[in-house]
Every structure is written in C-alpha cells, then in structure tokens.
Amino acid sequence: MELEFTKDETAFRDEVRNFIETEMPKDVAFKMAHDRELEKEDFIKVHRKLYEKGWATAHWPKEYGGADWTPVQRHIFGEEMQRASLPMPLEFNANMVGPVIAHFGSKEQKEKFLQPTASLEIWWGQGFSEPGAGSDLASLKTTAVRDGNEYIINGQKTWTTLGHFADWIFCLVRTDPTAKKQKGISFILVDMKTPGIEVRPIITVEGNHEVNEVFFDNVRVPAENLVGEENRGWDYAKFLLSNERFGIAKIGVAKQRMQRIKSYAKTPDANGEKLWDDAVFRARFLQTAADIKALEITQLRILAKQQGHDSDAPDPLTSMLKIKGSELQQATTELLLEVAGKDSESPQIREIYKSGNQDFEWLDAVASSYFNNRKLSIYGGSNEIQHNILSKAIMGF
C-alpha cells in the first residue's frame, strides 16, 4: 500500500499546474468558479489551448494524437483542471466519438474526422436519447433505411446537450427493425447542415438553453458515415460509455466548491456573525468533506486497479463513482445555497451586491446551479440505473 504519487507523477502534476496557471484563460475560470453559464467560445478557447499542448485527447491511441497517459496521469489532469475551475476538453469529442472512430472507424473516417475532432474544429453532439428511450436506450425508434449509397434517417433525438453548437452529431439509429432490441442498432455520423434536420431548444429548470430536441425528416446521409459494421452500434455505444468512467465523479469540482463554501461561510454577515461558527453548519460541512475524501480514495483504488491492466471492459465499480459523485456534487450546491440564504432568491445581479466592501457577485447563480445540478443524478445513466448495474454485477441479484 502506497498513498503517494511517484516522483514522475508529482512532476507531471506540477507541469499541469504550471501550464494552467500560465496559459489558461482567467475569464473562463472566473465564470466557472461563479457557477455561471459558459459560452461556446469559452469551451473552444480552453479546448484549443489544450489541443495545442497535446492534452485535449491525451488518452487517445498514440497514432491519433494521444500521449499514452496512464490512468493516474489522466486522473491528475482532470483534478487539476477542475481545481482551477476549467471545463474539461469537450467530452462528446474527446471521450465519446473520438475514441469510437479511432477504434472502429474506417480509414477514411479516421482521416476525415479525428484531427478536427481533437482540435474542436468539429463540435459533436450526442444523439442517443429519444422521448421514448431514456433509461431504456435500446428501445430507440429513430430509423436509418439504406437507399443506394445513402441512409435515410427519420425520427427524433432529445436532450442533446449543446446541440445548438454542434456541427455534427453521432447517433444511434435502428437499421434492422426485425432484430431483437440491441441487435438492430447502428452508429452513424450526421452533418447537422444536412437538409431535414431541425434543432429546437429545450429550456431547463433554471432558465438556460443547454439541451435540444433534434428532429430528422428524411435526412439523407452517405452510407460511408456508418461507423464499423451495420447493426453493431450497441457494442460501440457500450465501448463509448466505458470511456466515460474517467473523472465521472468530478471530485475536483466538488472540492473547489467546498473551498468557496468555506470562504463565504467565514465572511461575516451584517451583524458580524459567521455561519462557519454555527456548530450545525460546521458539522454538515465537515461530514460532506469526509465523504468527498472517501470518494477520492475510492476513485484512486479503482484507478490503481486499472493501472497496468489495460482492459476496455467497464468496471462496474465506476457506477459507484457516478452515484456518489453526483450526490456529492449536489450536496455541495445545497450547502452553497444554504450559505447564500435568501439573498440568492434572484438570478439577477442586483444593485445591492455593491453595498459594503465585500464581493457579493456570486449570489446570482447559486440557486441556478443547485437547480441545474439535479441533472447529474439523471443523465449518463440515472442513479437508479447505476444501482441496478451494481445489484446485478456485484451482488449477483
């Protein structure tokens, strides 16, 4: 047993830290650290810098621009980015479609897509979920029918995150309606500019435009855009989801928020009192901190197991990271809301924030962040579904 990073790993961490400190846009970090919404340009700015450094897709196979990072290096990188309140490289590109194309794509697909996917010249959307196919993703109904050199796509995708920014979308579509559920599904790449596609915004609870519905009405897609073999899409999707396991718990984000909570709670209120001095608050804070520390070590245990065994098989324990990670994120947004109290009732930046000599320009987005973060236990396989996975895989129920 050995808790410390190796010398090389420590040196790597310092290198990442130094790069972030000198190269990363401070305005983006400010927004993230204040729970504000990022613009398209903010994501691009950060992603491009990392791309130039070779870090946007460092976990890809080396021949396609990867850097052969170990799982621990990947972990360190994620931690440092989150600690600095920066967005990770766009996950639709870096963690989802990129690795799928690299592993299963044709030579032409690799040449055409991998470089601009790595550099974010192409922004990808994820077209999996449908109105009738959420947790039960394999019941998806969008069809792709072969017609000469093309597929004709009809149907609807939904919850497409940042789909209004997307240049391309990777979709799961049904190519064999007679086959059993998972068997008749294919993985296809679609240019968002193709005639017949319509994107409609869905406004989420806090009032932002983050997700979309995407409609397909006789959308003709070149047959060469199908990835791998027809009707094997479910396997590729499983591979894709197994890639999500890294950093799924976003422990760095929770830690960063805890730092903010602490500093706000230590700021005196109008009567000179501090919430930090309230025994009940302090107990809640410390319990959450202990839970975060435990999860961090759980994550490291899982990582250490993976280090060396280069296996693509998803570790069911990552479901635990998803469950606890999302719960702890949510717990931190809850604590933040408690520190803010009723002064966070409005999403508007109010004149009153300028009163006194303290900085109150963090109150406007606290409640929005609490509302929005409820999604963490719903998407990416809901927490109930993660419990089902653990029930089966570990408990053998």
Partner 1 sequence: MNFDLNSEQIQIQDSFARFFADGAKSHSRALKNSSKNIRELSHAAAEMGILAMLFSEENGGLYSSPTETMIAMEEVGKSLCNIPLAETAYACRILDKADDFAGKDELIASIISGEKTISIAFDEFNNRSNGAIVKTNENNGVINGVKTNANFENDYFLVNAQMTGGKIGIFLIANDAKGLNINKFMTHDTSAKCDLYFENVGAVKICNDDNVVEYAKDFAIIALCYEAIGMMRMITNLTSEYLKTRNQFGVPLSSFQVLQHRAVDMLIETEQALSIAIYASLLLDNDDIEARKIAVSNAKLRVNNAAKFVSQQAVQLHGGIGMTDEYIGAHYFKRLTLFCNMMGDNYFHLNRLNLEKDILEI
Ligand X SMILES: Cc1cc2nc3c(=O)[nH]c(=O)nc-3n(C[C@H](O)[C@H](O)[C@H](O)COP(=O)(O)OP(=O)(O)OC[C@H]3O[C@@H](n4cnc5c(N)ncnc54)[C@H](O)[C@@H]3O)c2cc1C
> What does the binding site for ligand X look like in residue numbers (CB under 6 A)?
126, 128-129, 134-135, 159-161, 211, 375, 378-379, 382, 384-385, 388
> Cα–Cα distance between 200 and 100 in angstroms, integer?
27
What residue 256 binds from ligand X, partner 1, none (CB within 5 to 8 A, per partner kind)? none
Taking residues 225 to 264 in sequence order and writing x for each that binds partner 1 by CB under 8 A, - otherwise, the string is ----------------------------------------
Q: Residue 51 corresponds to which amino acid?
A: Y
Helix (H) or strand (E) holding 258: helix 251-265
Residue 192's alpha-carbon distances to 48, 120, 164, 169, 196, in angstroms, are: 22, 15, 9, 7, 9
Between 79 and 206, name the residue whose CB sits nearer to ligand X: 206
Considering only 175, 225, 344, 369, the residue that binds partner 1 (CB under 8 A) is 344
Contacts (CB under 8 A) with partner 1, residues 376-395: 377-379, 382-384, 387
Helix (H, G, I), strand (E, B) or coil at 383: helix
Between 41 and 269, name the residue whose CB sits nearer to partner 1: 269
> Cα–Cα distance between 269 and 253 in angstroms, integer?
26
Between 279 and 313, name the residue whose CB sits nearer to partner 1: 279
Taking residues 127 to 166 in sequence order and writing x for each that binds partner 1 by CB under 8 A, - otherwise, the string is --x--x-xxx--x------------------xx-------
Closest among 342, 321, 340 to 332, alpha carbons compared:
340
User: Are the CB atoms for 99 and 58 separated by under 8 Å?
Assistant: no
Only one of the segments 15-23, 89-97, 149-157, 348-356 lies at the binding site for partner 1 (rule: CB under 8 A); that segment is 348-356
Closest among 75, 81, 113 to 97, alpha carbons compared:
113
Contacts of 62 (CB under 8 A, 6+ apart): 68
Considering only 152, 337, 390, 393, the residue that binds partner 1 (CB under 8 A) is 337
Residue nearest to ligand X (CB): 134
Between 11 and 179, name the residue whose CB sits nearer to partner 1: 179
Q: How far is the CB of 210 from partner 1 (least distance, A)?
A: 9
Taking residues 184 to 213 in sequence order and writing x for each that binds partner 1 by CB under 8 A, - otherwise, the string is ------------------xxxxxx---x--
Between 179 and 352, name the residue whose CB sits nearer to partner 1: 352
Contacts of 187 (CB under 8 A, 6+ apart): 100, 104, 170, 171, 172, 226, 227, 228, 232, 233, 236, 237
The position carrying tokens 């400010």 is 30
Q: How far is the CB of 346 from partner 1 (least distance, A)?
A: 5
Only one of the segments 96-104, 148-156, 231-239, 350-358 lies at the binding site for partner 1 (rule: CB under 8 A); that segment is 350-358
Only one of the segments 89-97, 172-180, 298-306, 336-344 lies at the binding site for partner 1 (rule: CB under 8 A); that segment is 336-344
Closest among 124, 126, 129, 159 to 141, alpha carbons compared:
129
Residue 234's alpha-carbon distances to 145, 170, 359, in angstroms, are: 17, 13, 50
The position carrying tokens 């718990």 is 249
Instruction: Please compute Rg for the chain using Cα positions.
Output: 22
User: For 351, which DSSP code?
Assistant: G
What residue 126 binds from ligand X, partner 1, none (CB within 5 to 8 A, per partner kind)? ligand X
Q: Looking at 36-171, list the stretches that DSSP marks H as alpha helix, in order from N- to C-terminal side.
A: 40-53, 71-83, 91, 98-104, 107-109, 115-119
Residues contributing to the site for partner 1 (CB under 8 A): 129, 132, 134-136, 139, 158-159, 202-207, 211, 269-271, 273, 275, 278, 280-281, 334, 337-348, 350-352, 355-356, 358, 360, 367-368, 370-371, 374-375, 377-379, 382-384, 387
